[in-house]
Amino acid sequence: MIDRIRTLTGEIEGVYSRTLDFDGDFLELAARFAHLPGNVVLLSGSDLDCARWHILGALPYLRLTARRGSMTLAGGSRKFTARRRPLDVLKQVLAVCDVRRHIPPDDASDWPLMAGLLGYLAYDIKDCLEDLPRTSIDDLKLPHVCLYAPAVIIIHDIRKERTRIFITARRVDGMPTLPADQRQVNDLLAAAAPPLEPFSGHAEGLRSNFRRPAYEAAVEKVRAYITAGDVYQVNLCQRFEMPFAGSVFDLFRELFKRNPAPFFAYINAGDHQVVSTSPERFLLQQGRRVETRPIKGTRPRGKTPSEDRQLAAELLASPKDDAELSMIVDLMRNDIGRVCRQGSVKVAHHKKLEVYENVYHLVSIVEGRLDDGFGSADLIAATFPGGSITGCPKIRAMEIIDELEPHRRHVYTGAIGYIGFHDCMDLSIAIRTATVVDGRILFSVGGGIVFDSDPAAEYEETLHKGQTLMNVFNGGVKPAAGQAMVWLNGLLVPAAEAAVPVDDLGLLYGFGFFETIRADSGRPRYLNLHLARFYRTWRHLFGDEIPDLSWAQIITQVLAANRLNSRPAAVKLLAAAGPPNATCRRRTLLVSARPYRHRLAGKTGAGLHLASYPHAHQTPLAEHKTLNYLYYHRAAAWAAGQGADEALITNPDGSLCETNSASLILLRGQMAGLPESLHALPGTMQKVVCRQLRRSGWGIFRKRLMPADLFRADEVLLTNSLMGAVPVLSVDGRRLKAPSNLWREINRTLNIAGP
């Protein structure tokens, strides 16, 4: 691993630095680099003690991106993927790129960063740290880690009004990189500052991933978990999105001008950009010293000096806010204590009032000394994600968040900042943070839910928090208005309110597919077999990344929401392609459930009657349960018109294929025959039944079978996942041989309840 990393980074020979004389605003300087992918800007606003440095990272020579359990490292034209936990790979990169022996002593004491990684760690890397359910949708499909090693770092010291440039000197394939990097950065610095560019968002197109009743119901669910003793607090958020056009960097510039905060950030990740206006420090590491500053407790600024003082005093005196902050402080003390020296962790300042342009916050400062043998990656692993934006206890709170929030959070409530190559780090909590991707801007807002939280007030608070970002567009937050339940793209919603875009190709052309699963006593049957077929079709039709979801838990939620835990149910998993030119980010996923009544219930005969459909069917789409099921729907309606239960489907050459809802098995002697067809759905229950027959000594064969073979068989079975195995009694009014009790024995062995 170390050697492979070194092939990308080259040999680090030192860190070149010089004073940079620059007349003008740091944002104006940063604008010269903003258009370049991999450019990261970290700004400090306000006069707080943690707001001192402006940092620009540009011209990256290494990019780290991770999703799930692997990390891709790219440098120049080379890259490789390590199938390991992202933070384990990060630890290796920090070891390879350690520059401590190359840093002049004066720079080491005077400047926070000279070489390192800049970017973000998404909230979702929690899944690589803990065994957590995944029942919310990852609709963005963006990296869970996105970090850049810039060749050039420019830092401005706000207090001393001085600026310095640092360039990592490397040797790649025997050639020094410093001369080329110096020329490129000098050219960019000498170029004229780019003009301000317009940006626009369409507030009238703003929508939330929660309807108000659903958000308030989620708050009540959290309160119920608190009452049950599961948790003390859960941070619950909703996500807003709307169309966006124009310059993301100028949105960043405008936000900073309106409401400066200590941890502003702009990240140009190429296919997406991140803008953060966070006030909260997650982790600071300076050598062995560690600091975290959790925030809990917020009040708006008053409109008059008297009102302003009253609101500040109210926040300081609030028992609720004091209790919440104390709880998170204890959590963070415990987290950093996992990697800090025993006895070194202490609360340096509790319930400090911090003043911002629009709000007051309560902040505590927790400090510790990193123990020997631990570094930056270990500190992140011990504390991520920050307790102030999950809840307490953290793991159970994260499980509840994933259950109740419809979408993965991505960068929101993750971390943004730098991780140095010389034993230093400064990361903020990614709140008040927006992502621009695919012509949309998305941002999330939330709050800590406790037992005495009022659902309506909590919902209104998310709107107020979102207002800061929306004000820059001269618009306000206008959420969507607010029975069978379905799971749609990560959220349980009333079936009557579930909707897909009118241009979804699944709606227009049936471009999608589904899987029907039987559930008994709240548990899906043969789920792995169904998912294998579901994923095979996903790869064949969509050709992109399959969804990373805990389907069993999603199905359990849907069954419970529909009160189907104690009776047979038919569960449907559905995937639609989304709008034209959609990527994996815009697919529609839906899970529904309904009560299931066996096909033979209420019938006088113990079997089904078939009618031969006059229209042969053969298409490659028949190999998948696509949404283009109109042929089978019409075949079923035709059979009912003939007084039959099922339509017998044949291939163009007249050979047997299947029925409109089931697979065929022809039994003769001790042999089971399966019709051969170029294009027919591989039946999940047919596979299960054949496996059971094989165990009982039957031989299985697949061949071209004709309708006449139905009458030569000792008996004919139909199979699907809902009804199990059911005998065929007649075809086109002509009786088959009377069935034995084999079908009942099969269903009893498979524990499939009959009529």
Helix 376-383 to helix 86-96 angle, to the nearest 10 degrees? 160
Catalytic, out of 126, 141, 241, 280: 280
Q: Kindly provide the residue ranges of all beta strands, DSSP E only, lying in 49-198, ordered along the sequence.
A: 53-67, 70-75, 78-82, 116-121, 145-157, 162-172, 175-176
CB of 58 closer than 8 Å to CB of 203: no
Distance, in Å, from the CA atom of 698 to the CA atom of 701, rounded to the nearest integer, reads 10
CB of 121 closer than 8 Å to CB of 412: no
Both tokens assigned to 181 = 């990097």
280 is catalytic: yes
Please report which residue ranges of 642-699 form alpha helices under DSSP H.
Answer: 684-695
Least Cα distance to 430 among 406, 419, 446 occurs for 446
Least Cα distance to 716 among 579, 600, 607, 631 occurs for 607
Least Cα distance to 90 among 5, 176, 215, 211 occurs for 5
Reduced to 3 states (helix: H, G, I; strand: E, B; else coil), residue 273 is: strand
Dmax (CA) for the chain in angstroms is 97
CA dihedral 564, 569, 570, 571 (to 10 degrees): 40
Residue 200 φ/ψ, nearest 5 degrees:
-150, 145
Helix (H) or strand (E) holding 391: strand 391-392
Residue 292 pairs with which residues in a beta bridge?
A: 366
**Single-letter residue type at 60:** P
Q: Kindly provide the residue ranges of all beta strands, DSSP E only, lying in 161-279, ordered along the sequence.
A: 162-172, 175-176, 199-201, 207-208, 233-246, 263-268, 272-278
Both tokens assigned to 433 = 């943070």
Residue 636 φ/ψ, nearest 5 degrees:
-65, -40
CB of 548 closer than 8 Å to CB of 135: no
CB of 663 closer than 8 Å to CB of 720: yes
Residue carrying structure tokens 């459930």 = 593
Both tokens assigned to 423 = 């034993």
737 is catalytic: no
Tell me whether the omega of the peptide bond preceding residue 133 falls within 30 degrees of 0, making it cis. no
Give Cα 82 distance to the centre of its chain.
21
Both tokens assigned to 343 = 């006895």
Residue 729 φ/ψ, nearest 5 degrees:
-95, -35
Q: Kindly provide the residue ranges of all beta strands, DSSP E only, lying in 561-655, ordered along the sequence.
A: 569-576, 588-595, 608-612, 646-650
Catalytic, out of 126, 141, 291, 296: 296
Distance, in Å, from the CA atom of 372 to the CA atom of 351, rounded to the nearest integer, reads 30
Residues in CB range of 446: below 8 A, 6 or more apart: 235, 236, 237, 238, 389, 413, 462, 465
**Single-letter residue type at 253:** R
Distance, in Å, from the CA atom of 259 to the CA atom of 352, rounded to the nearest integer, reads 20
Distance, in Å, from the CA atom of 380 to the CA atom of 383, rounded to the nearest integer, reads 5
Residue carrying structure tokens 């390991």 = 84
Q: Which sequence positions are flagged as catalytic?
A: 280, 296
